[in-house]
Chains A and B, each alone.
Chain A
Amino acid sequence: MNDISETLQPSRPQVDVHPMGDSDLPVTARTTLGIVLACMLLAMAPWVLDLAALRFTTDFLVYLSLAVIWNLLGGYGGLISVGQQAYVGIGGYVFFVSLAFLGLPLPVAILAGMVVSAAAALVFAPLLLRLKGPHFAIGTWVMAELCMLAVANMPYLGGGSGMSLPASVAREIATDRAGREAVIFFCALLLAFSAIAGSYLLLRSKWGLALTALRDSERAAESLGVDTRMIKLAVFIGCSAMAGAVGCVVFLSKLRMTPDSAFSLIDWTAYVVFIVIIGGIGRIEGPIVGTIVFFALRGSLADLGPLYLIVLGLVAIFVMLKAPQGLWGLIAERYKIEIFPVQRRL
């Protein structure tokens, strides 16, 4: 008697009917204005900063992007990855191959880096996303090591000694060094902007609601109608594509890469985790504050050599003990401020 199509979901549209962002929270004017102003201010950098300062700013934006991505994955999605270097490395290598061997234009090469990183994530996902918590973390790290080993054994990619971008390719991007640095800077700015704006919009949409819910209880989220597997997969792939893009930008500025530098755990994950933890995990402002602190420490402790890493570790432990919500958590609580409000209120 009761036909399923009529009785089960009388007036309920399928969940997919609502496109992302539809009728979700309106983006506050204040935050939008702030982002636009910050970007405009930053966009003047190539004209007002000298080369060293510009490089420093680019580096800052690169780490900011990685931290924002890692925060989305780990802080909001509960997917604590220590293998982001896999996608940075893959992105970087694909980018070099696209430019040097295939002669593709710069934007296409970056796109290729992103697509292949995303594809790699799609291949690893069925295995990795089945793992939970620490097992997932270890799984991501093992995958990254495997990627590094695979690349190091490919003569086509220069094996263990890596690849360089030919000077002719570098010249095609811009005629002089200043021009090239400016191009790289704008790429990094675009990345950081997309990472922040993208996370912000995602978290305010219903998908952000689902992501945070599945982080806290996958089981309960599933029994409330959330397709946890699909959402985790989408976020994992999206974040990997972004990490791939970061890889392109990083190695465009370095002009050469080895398996060790491309798949560096310290450079592309450890520092990034440090940034997110001291800044405040699970808040969009956290990675921004964290990156500022990280660069301040790096600048002032550069002469310490290996001791520098120990100091970073001590700072991280101190912050974790004294301010588990990170520095931004302290600031937000004391001054009751929020730059990127993602919480829904009644």
Chain B
Amino acid sequence: MLHMEIKGLSKSFGALRVADGIDLRIQRGEAVGIIGPNGAGKTTFFNLIAGDLFGDAGTVVFKGTDVTGWDARERSRACMARTYQIPQPFHGMTVYENVLVGAVFAGGRSQSQSRQHCEEILQQTHLSEFANTPASSLTLLNRKRLELARALGSSPELLLLDEIAGGLTDAECSDLVKTILDINAHGVTVIWIEHVVHALLEVVNRLVVLNAGSVLRDGEPHRVMRSPDVREIYLGVEPEADGAGS
């Protein structure tokens, strides 16, 4: 079942075209990975999907409804949630309260109804022991976990993850992979931007490569990774080596 359809999505910052007519169809329950070089426009693409930014052209259809003109708040209430590449915790609030915000406002529950829900999420994201500590005192790993926990608080059907594995150790990373697999197994559609490709490949069943604001490749992850233009642009391998040799 089609979950989200993006057509001709474009966005420019001045002369810089950061999204250049992106088309993408996402099925419900899919786990899609997005890779691409720095500055390819991945985060901007998320901002456009989540309603943090409005595009110059193109449409976003979510669950059969055109949500192109909806702002981030309206889209969150339609069950979209995102994490931020640079964690944006509510630092003056406890970890539990951070998760509560989405549960109450995007999820439409009362504070007391949200209690158990938040407790489960904190368990799932290994944050239970920090439930009552202020978010400002968390380590980087736990800040990343909190980004995920907060997004889960709103019970999303579509979850957008922006580089939540960056800077984690291997053990932490495989832990995170397990959590995301678990979330996806519960029917949540996941779109995950990640530079840590090996972690990504453990989760996704489809890989999209963005380059200079447009989709370069889209398909089965291992095939996409093997294609020469991806190796050239994303990993900067063979052709460059050839050029250096001649």
Contact = CB atoms under 8 A, between A and B. Distances in A.
A224 B153 contact: yes
A14 interface: yes
A344 B115 CA distance: 10
Contacts of B51: 223
Given A12-B77, A223-B76, A25 B90 contact: no
Contact of B64 (A3, A15, A220, A221): A3
Contacts of B150: 220, 224
Interface stretch (B98-106, B174-182, B194-202, B227-235): B98-106
Contacts of A209: 93, 97, 100-101, 104, 111
B84 A9 contact: no
Interface of B: 50-52, 63-65, 71-73, 75-79, 81-82, 84, 88-94, 96-98, 100-102, 104-108, 110-113, 115, 118-119, 122, 131-132, 150, 153-154
Contacts of A8: 63, 65, 77-79
B58 to A, nearest CB: 20
Nearest to B112: A23
A217 B107 contact: no
Contact of A216 (B78, B89, B119): B89
A12 to B, nearest CB: 4
B189 to A, nearest CB: 14
B110 A225 contact: no
Contacts of B113: 23
A206 to B, nearest CB: 5
Contacts of A212: 90, 92-93, 97
Interface in A1-49: 1-4, 7-9, 12-15, 17-18, 22-25
A25 B113 CA distance: 11
A213 B65 CA distance: 29
A24 B110 contact: yes
Given A4-B65, A15-B105, A206 B92 contact: no
A210 B63 contact: no
B115 to A, nearest CB: 7
A346 B131 contact: yes
Contacts of B77: 8-9, 12, 15, 225
Given A8-B65, A8-B79, A346-B118, A220 B90 contact: yes
A115 to B, nearest CB: 30
B119 A346 contact: yes
A226 B118 contact: no
